[in-house]
Structure formats: C-alpha cells, structure tokens
Amino acid sequence: MKYTVLTLFPEITDAFFSNSIMAKAIKRGIIDYQSVNIRDFASDKHKTCDDSPYGGGPGMLMLPEPLGLAIKAALGEEILGKRVIYLTPSGRPFTQELARELAGEKELILICGRYEGIDQRIIDMYADDEISVGDYVLSSGEVAALAIIDATYRLVDKVICADSLDEESFSGGLLEYPQFTRPEVFDTIKVPEVLLSGHHEQIRIWRLEKRIEKTLKQRPDLIQRGKELGIFNKEITGIIDRLTDGLKDRTDI
C-alpha cells in the first residue's frame, strides 16, 4: 500500500510516517509514502496557491492550476490502482467498513484542502471519492488525511497481528470490551474476577456480553444496524434480547 499526500504543509504528515508502527511498516516495505508539496507547482515567485472565490464571500480557495499539476504528477502515467480522495466535511462519512475497503487499494492519493476548500473543477476532474471524517469542520485537511491513513494502514496485511483486529471496536458490528492490566487492584477497584480465573470460555462470554452491553449504551444504532443486516449470530442475539429486557425492567421501576 502506498500513500501519496498532496499538501501545502508536508511537515505535518511527514512526522506521522517517521514514528511508531508506521515507521516499522515502511522499513519492512509493507507501506510506502510520498508527500507532494502543492506549492512546488505554483508558477509565480511567491508560490501562490489561493485566491478569492468567484461570486464573493469570505475566505480563500486553493487555486486549480498548482493543485491540478500536483495531482497529475502523483498519478503519473500508470493510473490503475490509484484512488484519489478529497478530504472534505461535505464528503460521505468515513467508517470502519470504508477503512477496510480503502486498505485493499494499491495506492491512495489524498488531497488536503485548506482555507474554504478547493476549486470544484479539480473535484470533478480528479476525485474518485469525497470523504468526511466527521460532522464537524477542520481547518486542516492534513488532520483528516492522517485519520484515514491511521485507520487504513493498520488493516493492511502484516502491519499488525491479525488477532489484534478481531475483537476491536466495530468488528462484527460491536464496540470493544473493557480492558484491564496490572495492578490487580487500583485505587480500591479490582480487576473483574472472571479475567483472573483462567477459564477461557467464561472470559470469552464475559467479553462478548460487555461488548454488547457497551454498544447498547454508547451506540444503539450499531445494534439496530446489525439486526437489520443480519450479522449477529444466535448467541449475540440472545444476549442483546436479555440485556434489552433488563434495561426495560429497570426503566419500568
């Protein structure tokens, strides 16, 4: 997998690729990365990359000329397997499901907007996707790009142990169960006895119940979606029904 980031501030994203698991993945040749400074494609001596929008209004827009040249340079002659993504609050929501899809691509070319955004003609000509990382506005497209990079690269084969991905949040339509480590007692709060029992089946059931309990509390929409898609097995459905009935009983008191 290769990430190509088109940005006015490459130092923001460069730092991410030189640290932690990502740096190891690059060293092992699993991940490749290139930052493209859009200013390098500006034609004037001031390296101007923005101008006021037609029709008036506040703020500035990124100019299409330098950005278009930067995208062409990133695409090169071989465009197959390269997915161009523009990060924007008006894009479709970024989800774990979409992260898995993007992780299977050969190369992601990420356009980091600034100011009020970019010229619509660039979007129409080059963008395969417009993606939003949430219902809020960021001043930096780089922050959104890093969110997508971080969510996808860890799903690329051999970057992280596959077992670590099986029961984390959103896998199987549920959130992750609570985690505990040493010491056994912290500020009078003890680790749940079942986790100290060594009984693997009891631990599995406890973790599954806690996943469902947490999802019902924090993200009931995920439970509803899972039911509609039929992704829950009989065991999960039974626990959902039991916990839901318990919540109803408490509400009726």
* Predicted local distance difference test score (pLDDT) of residue 169: 72
Q: Are 209 and 195 in contact (CB under 8 A)?
A: no
Residue 250 confidence (pLDDT): 63
Residue 253 has pLDDT above 80, yes or no: no
The CB-side HSE value for 78 (13 A sphere, CA atoms) comes to 3
Residues 212-240 have a mean pLDDT of: 96
Kindly state the average pLDDT of the residues 124-148: 96
In which band, very low, low, confident or very high, does the pLDDT at 252 lie, cut at 50, 70 and 90?
Answer: low
pLDDT higher than threshold 90 for residue 78: no
For the cut 90, the answer to whether the pLDDT of residue 162 exceeds it is no
Task: Tell which residue, 11, 32, 7, 28, has the closest CA to residue 107.
Answer: 32
pLDDT in tens, 13-72: 999 999 999 999 999 999 999 999 999 999 999 999 999 999 998 899 999 999 999 999
Q: pLDDT tens digits for 120-131?
A: 999 999 999 999
Check pLDDT > 90 for residue 79.
no
Cβ contacts of residue 73 below 8 Å, gap of 6+?
A: 36, 41
192-227 in b/e form (b: 16+ CB < 10 A) is eeebeeeeeeebeebbbebbbbbbbeebeebbeebe
pLDDT at residue 144 greater than cutoff 70: yes
This prediction's pTM = 0.87
CA atoms within 13 Å, Cβ hemisphere of 177: 19
* pLDDT for the residue numbered 249: 66
Q: Where are the beta strands (DSSP E) in the chain?
A: 2-7, 32-37, 50-51, 61-62, 82-93, 107-112, 129-132, 185-186, 189-190
Mean pLDDT within 75-79:
89
